[in-house]
Amino acid sequence: HAELAWLLNCATPMNWLERMIQFKDKAKKAGTESVGVGLFTYPILMAADILLYQADRVPVGEDQRQHLELARDIVRRFNGEYCKGGPYKKRCKKAGIPSFPAFTEPEAMIVKAGGARVMSLADGTNKMSKSDPADGSRINVLDPPKVIRDKIKRCKTDSLPGIEWDNPDRPEATNLLQIYAAVQPERSREDIMEEVKDMKWGDFKPVLAEAVVAHLEPIQKRYAEVRADEEYLRGVLKEGADAADEIAQRTLKTAKVAMGFSIPK
């Protein structure tokens, strides 16, 4: 990953990275002299993670769309500059590889209907994140039922009567309804609103908690089964790693040949 990222660094204009939101926000707050090179070039490492395995579709949240667009721009630039013409075909022939473009241009897979963004239990305007220092702000996949119930019981709500969807002044209400809908994909919004329209927060929170617990139960059960069979787990991991490494090595070799590097036999 790091090796391909360095190659892509050499092919990516600096002004493309200066447009990235994370860098712009940090530079605006602290000044460019305080922003590390790691943050500046991190989007290229993300692109390398994708392009190394020839992914054609990538599931991302809406907030990651810009990163994927950068990866697509890099593919077009790299393939256009390094993977055309007679010299490229000659290098490929000498290296014993097909003279195809080095990278596949990936498409974004954005989850619709609110499923792509689940907001924090502590603040309905911020995204739920595993990096948040407050564990109560999120529901972890392996949280025991009691922990889930306690987190939802303590989660932030408002003092307004009723429960409603899509009111910009009530982000926590919308978020909890989104979570409730997400763990019951077979139900419509209209069906859910009919159920909760007369509820207060004290009534709704236990119902939401039980729905989340029921949704995660089979996932947690399967996780426990897999973790209990260490030999099987290590076998699957090795099989996946070997398959991924084969694709990665082939892609890296093609990128090096495209850029004119000498490949040891």
Which are the catalytic amino acids?
26, 127, 130
Strand (E) or helix (H) holding 224: helix 201-228
Token pair 């990665």: residue:
248
Helix (H, G, I), strand (E, B) or coil at 220: helix
Asked whether 242 and 42 are in contact (CB, 8 A), the reply is no
Rounded to whole angstroms, the Cα distance separating 147 from 228 reads: 23
Q: What is the largest CA-CA distance in the chain?
A: 73
> Do residues 78 and 11 lie in contact, with contact meaning Cβ atoms separated by under 8 Å?
yes
Q: Rounded distance, CA 263 to CA 253, Å? A: 8
Which amino acid appears at position 195 of this protein? Answer: E
Cβ atoms of 155 and 205 closer than 8 Å: yes
What is the distance between the alpha carbons of residues 23 and 42, in angstroms, rounded to a whole number?
A: 10
Q: What is the dihedral of CA 190, 191, 194, 196, to 10 degrees?
A: -110
Q: Are 163 and 179 in contact (CB under 8 A)?
A: no
Enumerate residues 6+ apart whose C-beta is below 8 A from 77. 11, 12
What six digits make up the tokens of 263? Answer: 């490949």
Strand, helix or coil for residue 127: strand
